[in-house]
Amino acid sequence: MSWFSDWRIDVGIAVLFIAVQALTLHIFGQPTICTCGYVKVWEGVVLGSGNSQHLTDWYSFSHIIHGFVFYLLLWLLFPRMPILMRLAIATGMEVAWEITENTPTVINHYREQALAQGYVGDSVINSVSDTIAMIVGFLFASRAPVWATAATALGLELFVGYSIRDNLTLNVINLIHQFDFIKEWQSG
């Protein structure tokens, strides 16, 4: 199959997806920034009210790994597709997740977990930053050797898991089914 791609169209599609994400979360009633009234570059308190409200937090690392996974998946499915076209698709996938993650059903499901009992969803700025983190991960995976991407993913998972007793792997497991031994360990 022959692919035609104009980088301006591909980048424009990705930007359009992010604009739809921001608008949708605004319509959902999510705050644009933290309700505290200011924006931090980093929010390191997982159980605090600022988690998922500022530019980055511990879960930003998970979104970098989303980028690794989306790059691999789209490379396997469409190896000849131009990289920026794959990036636009990956951005659409991440935006779809970010919108889904901020629905009342998913927010309430997260609240059942030990580390997310006070979770109210993401601020718009945090959600958009999560999508940008995915883009960073995708671009890293597109340039780095496979072993470096895999090692980085493993390192991030171990670092975050050790630091806050949560990470992408545990998040996915808990989203599918909550195991008591994980909940007890996360409760610390």
Summarised one tens digit per residue, pLDDT across range 96-147 is 999 999 999 999 888 887 567 788 999 999 999 999 999 999 999 999 999 9
171-186 average pLDDT score: 87
57-68 average pLDDT score: 98
What is d(CA 6, CA 17) in angstroms, rounded to the nearest whole number?
A: 17
What is d(CA 149, CA 68) in angstroms, rounded to the nearest whole number?
A: 7
12-35 average pLDDT score: 98
Type of residue at 75: W
8-33 average pLDDT score: 98
What residues contact residue 45 under an 8 Å CB cut-off, 6+ apart?
51
What is d(CA 116, CA 146) in angstroms, rounded to the nearest whole number?
A: 33
- The answer, yes or no, to whether residue 183 has pLDDT greater than 90, is no
Q: Give the residue, 183 or 153, on which the prediction is more confident.
A: 153
Type of residue at 11: V
Q: Give the residue, 180 or 169, on which the prediction is more confident.
A: 169
**Is the CB of residue 73 less than 8 Å from the CB of residue 137?**
no
- The answer, yes or no, to whether residue 35 has pLDDT greater than 60, is yes
Structure tokens at 97: 């997740």
155-159 average pLDDT score: 99
Residues of the chain by 3-state class (helix, strand, coil), percent to 5: 65, 0, 30
Q: Is the pTM of this model over 0.75?
A: yes
Residue 2: its pLDDT value, please?
A: 59
Residue 178: its pLDDT value, please?
A: 84
Residues facing 43 on adjacent strands: 57
What is d(CA 130, CA 124) in angstroms, rounded to the nearest whole number?
A: 10
Residue 28: its pLDDT value, please?
A: 97
Q: What percent of the chain has pLDDT over 70?
A: 97
166: buried, middle or exposed (CB in 10 Å: 19+, 13-18, 0-12)?
buried
